Amino acid sequence: MKRLEGRIALVTGSGGGIGRGIAQACAAEGAHVHVADIDGAAAESTAEQIVKVGGAATAMAVDVSRGQDVTAMFRAVAAAHGRIDVLVNNAGLNVRGDFRHMSDADWVRIREVNLDGVVRVARDGFDLLKASGRGVLVNVASIMAHRGLRQLTAYTATKGAVLALTKGLAVEYAPYNIRVNALAPGFVETALTRRALSNPGINKFLLERTLLRRFGTVEDIAKAAVFLASDDAAYITGAELAVDGGMTAGL
């Protein structure tokens, strides 16, 4: 029996990287996946790949930092299915740079996608999660919520806020049988990290601090997302699951 058979899922930022992996893994477990991304062509491509291997997917162009896009996204899902069983807040970005030189515009852009977008999706998705009767919200945070690293300070601040938000939402949504958890990946090679990880010094520094001595794969993260979304995690809410090869366990 597939673990998400018949469920309706929506994954933001699933045109590429970790989000695409989560969308594919949810579809492989039987869910109909709504693939939402600011890059509509990328969303189409993920949906096509899912359908090609026998899954069910619908693509949508959505910028989570725009209220009207999020409203339209949930309206479309409401019209098609009337509920969401699995909602994954994955869209995120970083603008690298020394904190002291960061422009207001860069800070606002990081915050409005990584935090405001997550807030908006979690809030406006409530009615559809409630309609499920067994809704699950997964917020993709980062182990960088617990660590400082040069040029990542604004990013880490937003991810720390996502962890705090997750706990508050777990409390507020529990009466509606909606579980809310955070997934905290370690370092995974995607468009987000490629430049940093291709720097030999940074690569070595990070690998030396990863107990399992390798970076994560998109599949490593997607498997954990499916676990949190599935009934295997039926008694887990308000938790943070680190998928980081042990990076946050050691010194």
Q: Which residues bind ligand NAD (CB under 6 A)?
A: 12-13, 15-19, 37-39, 42, 62-65, 90-93, 113, 117, 140, 142, 185, 187-188, 190-193
Comparing CB distances to ligand NAD, the nearer of 63 and 85 is 63
| Structure token digits, residue 75 | 């309206």
Concatenate the DSSP letters of all residues of 59-109 into one string. Answer: EEE--TT-HHHHHHHHHHHHHHHS--SEEEE-------S-GGG--HHHHHH
Contacts for 125 with CB less than 8 Å, ≥ 6 apart? 10, 74, 84, 87, 137
Comparing CB distances to ligand NAD, the nearer of 109 and 130 is 109
Minimum distance of ligand NAD from residue 191's CB (angstroms): 4
Minimum distance of ligand NAD from residue 110's CB (angstroms): 10
Minimum distance of ligand NAD from residue 47's CB (angstroms): 13
Comparing CB distances to ligand NAD, the nearer of 68 and 175 is 68
Contact yes or no for 12/19 (Cβ under 8 A): yes
Minimum distance of ligand NAD from residue 42's CB (angstroms): 5
Comparing CB distances to ligand NAD, the nearer of 19 and 55 is 19
Cα–Cα distance measured from residue 91 to residue 109, given in angstroms and rounded to the nearest whole number: 13
155 catalytic? Reply is yes
Cα–Cα distance measured from residue 230 to residue 167, given in angstroms and rounded to the nearest whole number: 19
Of the candidates 108, 111, 91, which has an alpha carbon nearest to the alpha carbon of residue 37? Answer: 91
- Catalytic one among 155, 173, 176, 235? 155
Instruction: Name the residues annotated as catalytic.
Output: 155
